[in-house]
Structure 1
Amino acid sequence: MAVALPLVISLAVLAYAWPAARIAPRDLPVGIVGTSAASQAAVEGLAHSRPGAFDFRLYPDEESARTAVRERDVYGAFVVTPGSLTVLESTAASPTVAQLLGDTGRQLAARASKAAADRAASSAHGTSAHGTSARSKGGKVGAKKPARIRVRAVDVVRISAADPRGVVFSSSLLPMTICGVIIALVAMSLRLRPVALLPALVVVSGAAALGVYVVAQGFLGALPHEHLATWASLALTVLAISATTAGVVSLVGSAGVGLSAALMVFVGNPFSGSTSAPELLPKAVDDIGQWLPPGAGASLIRGTAYFDGNDSAGHIAVLALWSVLGVAAVLFGHRVSRVAKGPVVNGSATAGAEDPANEVAPPHVPPSPEEPAHSSSPARVETHARSHARHAART
């Protein structure tokens, strides 16, 4: 215990702290509008300054880029023109990514302005060297200073004003995960049959999801759209966690509690990307997190609450798969338990074999005609002996 407990604590801290300390864009899908020289220069600049950070996707116009943001194909887009740069972002998709794209847009504009100024200075220097500098109307010699590129940010899908940083949304995931584990433990402790256990998990998961939604939206206003779909997403997330926990406990016994808690709480939650975005986490963490119920659930809830359910099919499939596997494990574990307590097979002893109610009485064998019934009874012999003794005394 003196070694195991500190080791577990260290691993738990590592699971939460390591992804948070390594947040950076990795193949983050963003759009570039147009194929002009300015757009190509923006792509080359970003690729050179941050190699591997962005996955660029070209769009013919700004409206198509806005549609891609609403459909969750990209987190945002850069609309580059000779005199301005528009950053299309989405705080609903991730406030952290929206801030990242805004900073990147300002860096692009500053770099483009500097490049334009350098070109103007080089042109003016070359003209002056040949003695043919342009003379202004006031008689002064010099080159026209290039205008600074203006940067404009547009929030295409805005997060709720009641939760501008997405804190309520990200903070709700851990209690939901713990709740799912507890629901499974309580249900398993009641020793319900599968025919009653599975409906109980569904009903309690739905009730727990309703409680989460009442607090997150009704009290805090963090999930403002598609109320029924958002509640269903919350319920499916809790059900996937509780069904998986129940299945693991059915297969391996009490040790399944620790395994489920470790998988869901100490791996699924920090790897989910709910506080930033999956593409900002280390690559292996991103891949693992989106295949676990907490990560898939967080992405699904965000999609139903803000994006009309766009890009949600994959997350629904992951949650449904975990739910089905958990139910199958419960059924299998119950079947194995019944077989272990079944009747005697090929002479092997089974549970309940020593129960007197299960013993078979030996068949009754009637006495033979030559031997009177109860002739060998000790009490009968003793009675005959006393009778002979009294008769001898009288004579």
Structure 2
Amino acid sequence: MSPSSPSSPPTHRRIAAVVVLVPVLVALALWAFAWPAARTAPRDLPLGVAGPAAAAAPLEQRLERQQGAFELHRYADEAAAREAVEEREVYGAVVAAERGPKLLVATAASPVVAQLLQQAVTRQAEASGSRVTTVDVVPAAERDPRGAIMNASVLPLALAGIGAGTAVTMLGLLGVRAVVALTGSAALVGAVAAALTHSWLEAVPGNWWALAGTFALAALAVGAAVSGLAALLGQAGIALGGLVIMLLGNPFSGASSAPELLPEPTGAIGQWLPPGAGVSLLRSVSFFDGAAVTGPALTLAWWAALGLGAVLLADALKEHARKAEPAADRDPALAG
């Protein structure tokens, strides 16, 4: 058995570190993924109520009895409520009608929320002796009615970004070269993702180039963040970036449900991280003609800009430090 190097910790300490670290990581992963899933419920879920005041008031009162479940928005008529759903202001709307309430939903925004609203409104309508008519204003893709393919795209994009950031760091690419590598990798990831989900599987509709750009921006945000942290912190930055994206970004993204269904404040945190912002932007670009894209697009852009900026800053600091070294230190032949 070869002896340990003087700078490395003793073998028993390394074994103990592995024995302790693995259960800790498992506990963190279970907390991050299982806890939000076990606490799924509507929390201030944006929902519209439309129709004449006299007819809509009873609907509002019944919905308000579910304290904290819905954030109600009032609209004058069905047309205004439908527009609000299409603009992603609300997930759905209950319209007061003579033959009973009409429910407007958008399965493209979240099949889980659409089903939840149907159950909640139908239950209330049956209790009052009326019948609900449901209209899907913005349906999901015919080839992917449950949104499974779009939800599944979150993890591969996160892995692609983490992989790109790690590769750039391990290959020793610095400064502009690192920026070019990260940008080029993200562009190719965007093209491949759009080709698979849009052209082949036909599960993500919309403009092909807009979709490719969305996928690329999401991958670049992750890759730049990981590479930027690594440039500032060393290889520890890769681990930190990977943990944040995988253990917080993915489970808190609300991709399989909605941010408003996750325990507070995980839904809000998820929308500030690349996976959550990426899936929100993808839904808007794919199904809602670009409605409500500003927030998630800016979030991804900031992650990308800060990460790439950190890469350039770290390289500039290293170059400055190198130039500041005395000539004798840089060239031993000049010493003495």
Is the pair's TM-score, using the shorter chain for normalization, greater than 0.5? yes
User: Hey, what does 1:248 align to over in structure 2?
Assistant: 229
Letter in 1 for 2:22: L
Alignment partner of 1:31 is 2:48:
yes
SS in 1 for 2:251: coil
* Structure 2 alignment gaps of length 5 or more: 1-17
* Structure 1 alignment gaps of length 5 or more: 114-148, 361-395
User: Hey, what does 2:242 align to over in structure 1?
Assistant: 261
> 1:343 deviation in Å?
4.4
Contact 1:237-1:293 at 8 Å conserved across structures: yes
Distance in structure 2 (CA, Å) of the matches to 1:251 and 1:59: 50
Q: Equivalences for 1:109-124 in 2 at 5 Å?
A: 109-113=125-129
SS in 1 for 2:265: helix
User: Hey, what does 2:107 align to over in structure 1?
Assistant: 91
User: Hey, what does 2:173 align to over in structure 1?
Assistant: 192
SS in 1 for 2:95: strand
Contact 2:253-2:276 at 8 Å conserved across structures: yes
Q: Equivalences for 1:46-65 in 2 at 5 Å?
A: 46-48=63-65, 50-65=66-81
Query: CA, structure 1 residues 197+344, in 2 after alignment: closer, same or farther (shift >3 Å)?
Result: closer
SS in 1 for 2:101: strand
User: Hey, what does 1:368 align to over in structure 2?
Assistant: none
RMSD between superposed Cα atoms in Å? 1.6
Distance in structure 2 (CA, Å) of the matches to 1:70 and 1:198: 37
User: Hey, what does 1:100 align to over in structure 2?
Assistant: 116
Alignment partner of 1:2 is 2:19:
yes
User: Hey, what does 1:40 align to over in structure 2?
Assistant: 57
Cα deviation per residue 1:261-291 (whole Å; 9 max; x = unaligned)?
A: 1011110010000000111111210111111
Contact 1:227-1:305 at 8 Å conserved across structures: no
> 1:34 deviation in Å?
1.9
Query: CA, structure 1 residues 40+201, in 2 after alignment: closer, same or farther (shift >3 Å)?
Result: same
User: Hey, what does 1:163 align to over in structure 2?
Assistant: 144
Alignment partner of 1:75 is 2:75:
no
Query: CA, structure 1 residues 62+343, in 2 after alignment: closer, same or farther (shift >3 Å)?
Result: closer
User: Hey, what does 1:230 align to over in structure 2?
Assistant: 211
Q: Return 190-199 or 201-210, whichever deviates more.
A: 190-199
TM-score, length of structure 1 as denominator length: 0.78
Distance in structure 1 (CA, Å) of the matches to 2:128 and 2:303: 49
User: Hey, what does 2:282 align to over in structure 1?
Assistant: 301
SS in 2 for 1:294: helix
Contact 1:244-1:327 at 8 Å conserved across structures: yes
- Of 183, 188, 191, 1:202 maps to 183
Distance in structure 2 (CA, Å) of the matches to 1:284 and 1:344: 48
How much identity, in percent, do the aligned residues show?
39
Distance in structure 2 (CA, Å) of the matches to 1:331 and 1:26: 41
Distance in structure 2 (CA, Å) of the matches to 1:58 and 1:111: 23
Distance in structure 1 (CA, Å) of the matches to 2:325 and 2:194: 52
> 1:214 deviation in Å?
1.5
> 1:5 deviation in Å?
1.2
SS in 2 for 1:14: helix
Cα deviation per residue 1:164-195 (whole Å; 9 max; x = unaligned)?
A: 11111101101110110101111222222322
Distance in structure 1 (CA, Å) of the matches to 2:186 and 2:141: 26
Distance in structure 1 (CA, Å) of the matches to 2:156 and 2:325: 47
Contact 1:213-1:231 at 8 Å conserved across structures: yes
User: Hey, what does 1:119 align to over in structure 2?
Assistant: none
Distance in structure 2 (CA, Å) of the matches to 1:330 and 1:343: 20
Contact 1:226-1:308 at 8 Å conserved across structures: no
Q: Equivalences for 1:317-356 in 2 at 5 Å?
A: 317-345=298-326, 350=329, 352-353=330-331, 355-356=332-333
Cα deviation per residue 1:136-184 (whole Å; 9 max; x = unaligned)?
A: xxxxxxxxxxxxx221110000100110111111011011101101011
User: Hey, what does 2:5 align to over in structure 1?
Assistant: none
Contact 2:174-2:311 at 8 Å conserved across structures: no
